Amino acid sequence: MFTLDHIAVAATDLQKGTDWVQARLGVALQPGGAHPRYGTHNMLLGLADGLYLEVIAKDPAQTPQAGHSWFGLDHFSGGPRLANWICRADDLAAYEAVAGPAQALTRGDLQWDITVPDGGDLPHGGAYPTLLRWAAGTVHPAQKLTPSGLRLVDFCVAHPDARAIAQMLRMDDPRIRFETGTAGFRATFDGPDGEKVLS
């Protein structure tokens, strides 16, 4: 069983991605950190129900230690957009054939294992989630973030093979739905100022 952990907006430039999200959601993001293994850095937004959103981009000041980036960022182009979703799973090895091998990462007091396919691309173009497992005793990032007042109420995963991917995942989360069509995501949030949408 997979549990939604967080969602990710990709950008070619972290500041541009941050500005894009803030303009659409009307809330301020908080600093995240750097990921030297994959040469990226991020900004974070606390959501209700123990979720968070991250904006992630390649960091021009870093050379990836792994020889490639992750989240498909080596081939990412165009404007900022929702590009990935990340779910928790207990047994990452069981899904390695699709999700990729698990890599152990640390940043400050955060420790986690996360699936990264060889080369860093996303399985099924991101329609199949990246999987992670937080280390025992690790405080989830969402618990450290200032609440934004936003709650994710709908997360649509679109893909030409959406039905097959949905059957593989068997997600038991009413917020998540799959739609057959051009690959992409659409997230709908509810908050003090009404409905907000990212895609």
Which residue in 97, 92, 107 sits closest to 54, CA to CA? 107
pLDDT digits (tens, 9 = 90+) for 138-176: 999 999 999 999 999 999 999 999 999 999 998 999 999
How much is the average pLDDT of 110-122?
A: 96
Taking 90 as the threshold, does the pLDDT of residue 82 lie above it? yes
pLDDT digits (tens, 9 = 90+) for 26-69: 999 999 999 999 999 999 999 999 999 999 999 999 999 999 99
Between strands 3-10 and 30-35, the pairing is unpaired
The domains located in the chain, with CATH, are 3-148 (3.10.180.10)
Phi, psi of 19 (to 5 degrees): -60, -40
pLDDT more than 70, % of the chain = 100
Cβ neighbour number for residue 150 with a 10 Å cutoff: 22
Between strands 102-107 and 110-115, the pairing is antiparallel
Mean pLDDT of the chain: 96
Q: List Cβ<8 Å contacts ≥24 apart for 91-94.
A: 92/131, 92/132, 92/133
Range 58-89 burial, b when 16+ CB lie within 10 A, else e: bbeebebebebbbbbbeebeeebebbbbbbbb
Query: Which structure tokens are listed for 124?
Result: 């099924």
Q: How many Å apart are CA 199 and CA 197, to the nearest integer?
A: 7
Q: What pLDDT is stored for residue 187 in this prediction? A: 98
Taking 90 as the threshold, does the pLDDT of residue 1 lie above it? no
